[in-house]
A = this chain, B = another copy of it.
Amino acid sequence: MKKYAVIVAGGSGSRMHSNLPKQFLLLNGKPVLFYTLDTFLKSYKDLQIILVLPEDHIAAGQEIIDAFFNYDRIRITAGGRTRFHSVQNGLQLITEESIIFVHDGVRCLLTTDLIHRCYKAAIEFGSAIPVIDSKDSVRIVLEDGNEPLERSKIKLVQTPQTFHSKILLPAYKIDYKDKYTDEATVAEAFGLKVHLIEGEEGNIKITRPVDLTVAEGMIIG
């Protein structure tokens, strides 16, 4: 089956106290986005990447591709107003029957093993959403106070959120709603029950300066 990774790297970087969007910050001398692209390219020889970047950062993204990757497996397209619109833009480039991975560009520490497990589960179940357990107790804020949730039932959701194209492509023809915060919620609006698989503790989002330190520790370690 053909494989596409839609890598969404749309963040503005405001939480990083830096004008540079976080996907371009350097981790051991290479941009965060390098690691993400590299791991996907390594995972399957026939996987194609669609990199979705804000208009202003397309040139910077092209520089990374030119500097680090010699081949023609990455296309860039412009992002939209929200993550939903960015993913929608990326999906417009896919017409073939395929397995589609939608991934946060700033989750640069995922492994090829996770990508392979997502692929297999998406082939079997139509979707694969990697999740991990919370190590902390979990509470929900109510109108009047807060209360505990049963931790064993709470899952923290990662990416790549992975789907068969025959689900994801029609699902993204829907009109946008604010509650579509990730691909799973869009697929559910389309009527699908999403299939959860085990994610990776190390598959963190780089969103704050401390995450870069953490990620450097993990890459070295």
Contacts and interface: CB of A to CB of B under 8 A. Distances in A.
Interface stretch (A95-103, A169-177, A207-215): A207-215
A156 B146 CA distance: 12
Interface in A129-182: 129, 131, 134-142, 145-149, 151, 153-158, 179, 181-182
A55 interface: no
Contact of A138 (B135, B155, B213): B155
A86 to B, nearest CB: 16
A: contact size bracket: 35 or more
Interface in A177-221: 179, 181-182, 184-185, 188, 193-194, 196, 201-202, 204-205, 207-208, 210, 213-214, 216-218, 220-221
A155 B141 contact: yes
A59 to B, nearest CB: 28
Interface of A: 129, 131, 134-142, 145-149, 151, 153-158, 179, 181-182, 184-185, 188, 193-194, 196, 201-202, 204-205, 207-208, 210, 213-214, 216-218, 220-221
